[in-house]
Amino acid sequence: MRKLFISLLAVSLVFIFSTPAPAAEKTMEDRIKTLEDVFGGWSFYGSARFATFYEKSDSNFTKDNDKVTNSVLTGPDQKETQWALANNSRLGVAVNRGDNFGGRVELGLKNDGSVGLRLGYGSYTFGDVTLLIGQDYTPLSDWDYSNQVFNGDNNLAGWGIIDVDGKRIPQVKIKWNGLQAALVENKDSDTCGLPASANATTEVLMPNLEARYRLSMDKFFGDIFGGVNSYKVKSKTLDIDKTVTSYALGLGGGLKIDPAFAKAMVWMARNGKQMGLHQADAAGATFAADNSLIADKDFGWALIAGANIQTVTVEAGYGFVSSEKDTSGVNKDKAQNYYVNASIPIAQNTLKTAKFSIVPEVGVYDYMKDSSSKDQGKATYVGAKWQVSF
Q: What is the DSSP string of 4-48?
A: HHHHHHHHHHHHHHHSPP-SSPPPHHHHHHHHHHHTTSEEEEEEE
Q: How far lies 292's CA from each of 7, 23, 286, 333, 368, in Å?
A: 69, 79, 9, 22, 29
Torsional class of 134: left (φ above 0), alpha (ψ -120 to 50), beta (otherwise): left
- pLDDT at residue 166, as a whole number: 84
Core vs surface per residue 68-83: b (16+ CB within 10 A) or e: bebbebeeeeeeeebe
Quick one: how many helices (H) and strands (E) in the chain?
Answer: 4, 20
Low-confidence stretches of the chain (pLDDT < 50) are 1-24, 64-67
* H or E element, residue 275: helix 272-275
Rounded CA separation 113/135 (Å) = 22
- pLDDT at residue 48, as a whole number: 98
* H or E element, residue 169: strand 168-176
Rounded CA separation 59/77 (Å) = 5
Tell me how far apart the terminal alpha carbons of the chain are, to the nearest angstrom.
Answer: 35
Q: Which amino acid, residue 234? A: K
- pLDDT at residue 65, as a whole number: 37
140 within 8 A of 130, measured Cβ to Cβ: no
333 within 8 A of 304, measured Cβ to Cβ: no
* H or E element, residue 2: helix 2-18
Q: Break the chain into its structural domains and give their ranges.
A: 1-39, 46-389
CATH class for the domain made up of 46-389: mainly beta
Closest CA to 199 of 237, 233, 239: 237
Closest CA to 344 of 385, 303, 374: 385
Q: Express each pLDDT in 301-328 by its tens digit.
A: 999 999 999 999 999 999 999 999 998 8
- pLDDT at residue 116, as a whole number: 96
